[in-house]
Amino acid sequence: MEKQIVFILALLLTLGIFAYTVNRLLAYFKLTRQDYPIRKLGRRFSQMMGVAIGQTKIFRRPVIGLLHALVFWGFLVILIGSIEMVVDGIAGSERIFRVLGVVYDVIIGAGDVFALIIAVAIVVFLVRRLFLHVKRFSGIEMDHKKHVDANIALTLILVLMISLLGMNTFYIQHALASGHELHGVFPVSRLMAPWFASLPADQLHLWHEINWWVHILVIFFFANYLPYSKHFHVFLSVPNVFLSRLDPLGKLYTMENVKKEVQMMMDPNASFDPPAEEEEEAGRFGVKDVEDVSWKTYFDSLACTQCGRCTAVCPANITGKKLSPRKIIMDVRERMREKGPMMVKHGRDYDDNKSLLRDYITEQELWACTLCNACAQECPININHPSLIVEMRRYLVMEESSGPGDLNAIFSNIENNGAPWQYSQEDRMEWAGDLYINES
Amino acid sequence: MSQRKIEVPLMSDLHARGEQPEYLVWIGSAGAYDDRYKKVTRSFIKVLTYLNVSYAVLGTEESSSGDVARRAGNEMLFQMQAMTNVELLNAYGVKKILTCDPHAYNTFKNEYPDFGGHYEVWHHSQFFQKLIREGTLRLDSEVFRDQVVTFHDPCYLGRANGEYQAPRDVLKATPIHLEEMPRNKSFALCCGAGGGQMFKEAEPGDKEVFIERTEEALDTGAQIIATACPYCMVMLTDGIKYKNRESDVKNLDIAEIIEQSLNL
């Protein structure tokens, strides 16, 4: 009974803190702008099953991708066991899902094997981060704190796997020592249980309890650590893929407020109409600060796990330019962390004399992009970096007219003679002069 | 062998005569003004003539698709171009658009529908792929026999629209030897011209993107770097010049490879 009370209190504390975090994040989301509507749920579901559950894009780097996929699929299986632990903790029961029979054996057996696989994969990940120089883990945006965060997350997962195996091992040995019936199948822990054959039953029980508590309390802690970590992707990557755009990467979204203005401009009748009574605030064109980004871009920034696959394939970054697509996305999250609380307090118009543009993301970064979509193609969870880059260019060009001079020149050429080059439209057919074809 | 002069049909002329071609061929600004790419346009038109394709061009009525303006952040200018072009194309009753330019292809296919422009859009590689599959276009002449060719994927054909096979099918219909670069298809490295870069100085860095990509292409040992995009053509031609390889390496659009195969 005492165990149940302690457990329920710990669970309530965990859920309470989590609810507080979610509430804060929702308030930040309310500050952001609209994006495309979420329709075609069937297509979204299949996209999620492929890219997220099937890990298809992770496998674009096959070796390390396989390790990640195993960790992810193992996580899904072990999650069922974690849910059982919560039910057991509340109800004071032991392995309550055992009523599932053979299904239970399969789930627990798979979880036991996956725990070892994940532990090994995490050790590989840690070694890679601590001792090998993987280029995409460095970069201007990857300061010391980012590496500490990554290592904490990995270490916590390692503790979870060790405690899970420990729990299973002592559970088996205790059952043997005390003559209890054994529920579940344990291909890995079964091999470790005999190591503790000399321990008396009460000690085995104690060790089981210690591992059980360590495992569940680390989960509770982890759940509340994640929203403040790059590892938030554990929660958000699957929904991020579900919510990601279905259109071809080549499509840029049409600005409806600009469309209204252009239609007015081009319609000879409209220009003489008196302005509508309560005309909607057109708002700023493009993105200058974090409240101008769409909810989806903010979602992207929270779901990003800083793996750097985007930056590793970016042609600008590869050739030494300042642009790093990963940084652009991370900057959105950082800036919201800075300005979000103040905007929640003082309103969306709050001004701290800083902005996402220039204080975080410089023009040099934005103008280095070739819009080649390599970053978006590579992102394992379908983050769309180019749409944010274009939105920030839109602000620079349409609100400040401060794009690079060369580009301003091509804008006037397009306006004046319908081509980026300064040639007369009358010369558009010059290529066709003296054109002959051989006839055999 | 005799020669016949090609009179490129204009949409306005056909319209005046009450005729409707099957395809509107979009030349694009680079196709009309860039000296190197004008040659591709000429080759492409020769091939269409050879194949007796029913087509017409807009001629002096054509104007920028707005792709560069949009990607450089000038949404206002893009939309003006889009609305003007859609109005013209719809007035001519255009149903199918055929173009060599993946940027125009992408803009018509994915972006003009927002402005009432709904067309069946073909990139020339897809059009040729169809004819090769149907058996109408045969490219088995000896002109390119055993030449080593590498293909550079244009971003707006490949990643932007998922078309990797069509240009390869065209190349494989000739007796060339196709040698892929390490970064190909969806992994392909950009030529460095997209998003307005073609028209501006590169931002500070260690290297130009087009040099990085040209080096990768040259490392395949290719005698011909094949492309299917006006921007890629400009960048890789510059890259070959920069590497002083003009004497032994050529940069050809797939339309030119077809034209030369057919000896037009």
Where does the pLDDT of residue B112 fall: very low under 50, low under 70, confident under 90, or very high at 90 and above?
Answer: very high
* Nearest chain A residue (CA) to B155: A372
pLDDT in tens, A331-356: 999 999 999 999 999 999 999 999 99
Give the minimum alpha-carbon distance from B18 to chain A in angstroms, rounded to a whole number.
Answer: 22
Residue A262 has its nearest CB partner, among B70, B79, B160, at: B79
Q: Determine which helix (DSSP H) or strand (DSSP E) holds B24, and give its type and residue range.
A: strand B23-26
- Distance from CA of residue A216 to its chain's centroid? 25
B31 CB neighbours in chain A (<8 A) are: 431
Residue A283's pLDDT band (boundaries 50, 70, 90)?
confident
Closest residue to A251, CB basis, from B60, B110, B199: B110
Query: Which residue of chain A has the CA closest to B183?
Result: A313
pLDDT at residue B139 tops 80: yes
Question: Which of B6, B64, B200 comes nearest A414 by C-beta?
Answer: B64
Q: Do the chains contact at B190 and A372, CB–CB below 8 Å?
A: yes
Q: Report the alpha-carbon angle A373-A387-A51, nearest 5.
A: 60
For A439, the closest of B4, B63, B109 (CB atoms) is B4
What is the DSSP pairing of strand B177-178 with strand B120-123? unpaired
A399 CA: distance to closest CA in chain B (Å): 10
Please check the confidence at residue A140 and state whether its pLDDT lies above 60.
Answer: yes
* Distance in Å, alpha carbon of A123 to nearest chain B alpha carbon: 29
Average pLDDT, chain A: 94
Contact B119, B89 (CB under 8 A): yes
Read off the pLDDT of each residue in B74-100 and give the average, rounded to a whole number. 98
Mutate to test the interface with A, among B39, B64, B106 (most CBs of A within 10 A): B64
- For residue range B192-250, what is the model confidence (pLDDT) as tens digits? 999 999 999 999 999 999 999 999 999 999 999 999 999 999 999 999 999 999 999 99
Q: Give whole-number Cα distances, A391 to A102, A265, B34, in Å.
A: 54, 22, 30
A398/B73 touch (CB, cutoff 8 Å), yes or no: yes
pLDDT digits (tens, 9 = 90+) for B144-158: 999 999 999 999 999
Which parts of A220-358 are beta strand (E)? none
When CB atoms are compared, the residue of B42, B194, B201 closest to A431 is B42
Helices A62-91 and A2-31 pack at an angle, to 10 degrees, of 130
Cα-Cα-Cα-Cα dihedral sign, residues A54, A60, A62, A66: negative
Tell me, what's the pLDDT at A275?
55
Please choose, from the candidates B141, B46, B159, the residue with its C-alpha nearest in 3D space to the C-alpha of residue B100: B46
The CA distance from A415 to the nearest CA of chain B, in Å, is 7
Asked whether the predicted pLDDT for residue A439 surpasses 90, the reply is no
Cβ–Cβ of B6/A251 closer than 8 Å?
Answer: no
Q: Is a pLDDT exceeding 80 seen at residue A279?
A: no
**Cross-chain Cβ contact A414/B66 below 8 Å:** yes
Q: Pick from A248, A259, A403: which is nearest to B79 by CB?
A: A259
Q: pLDDT at residue A278 above 80?
A: no
- What is the per-residue pLDDT across A149-169, written as a single tens digit (0 to 9) for each? 999 999 999 999 999 999 999
Average pLDDT over residues B174-195: 97
Domain boundaries of chain A, sorted by first residue: 2-234, 256-271+283-422
Residue B216 contacts residue B184 (beta carbons within 8 Å): no
Class of domain A2-234: mainly alpha
Taking the C-alpha atoms of residue B150 and residue B170, their distance in angstroms, rounded to an integer, is: 13
Query: What percentage of chain A carries pLDDT values higher than 70?
Result: 97
**pLDDT of A268 strictly over 90:** no
Q: DSSP characters for B211-249? A: HHHHHHHHTTT-SEEEE-SHHHHHHHHHHHHHTT-TTT-
In the predicted model, is pLDDT for residue A272 greater than 70? no
| pLDDT at residue number A273 | 56
Find the residue in B nearest to A436 (Cα): B5
How many beta-carbon contacts under 8 Å exist across A and B? Answer: 244
Our CA-based measurement puts residue A14 at a distance from the nearest CA of chain B, in whole angstroms, of 43
Domains of chain B: 11-128 (3.40.50.1860), 139-261 (3.40.50)
* Chain B residues lying within 8 Å of A265, measured CB to CB: 80
Residue B4 bridge partners (DSSP): A437
* Residues of chain B neighbouring A263 (CB-CB closer than 8 A): 83
Global pTM? 0.95
- Do B209 and A411 lie within an 8 Å CB cutoff? no
Q: Do A364 and B204 touch (CB under 8 A)?
A: yes
Q: Quote the pLDDT of residue A133.
A: 86
Name the closest residue on chain A to residue B194, using Cα atoms: A370
CB contact under 8 A, B32 and A419: yes
The position carrying tokens 């409707």 is B20
Taking CB atoms and an 8 Å limit, are B212 and A390 in contact across chains?
no
pLDDT of residue A232: 97
Among the partner residues B62, B76, B212, nearest to A258 by beta-carbon distance: B76
Q: Residue A231 has what pLDDT?
A: 95
The reply to whether A256-271+283-422 shares the fold of A2-234 is: no
Domain A256-271+283-422 part of CATH 1.10.1060: yes
Chain A residue closest in CA terms to B192? A370
- Say what the pLDDT of residue A1 is: 80
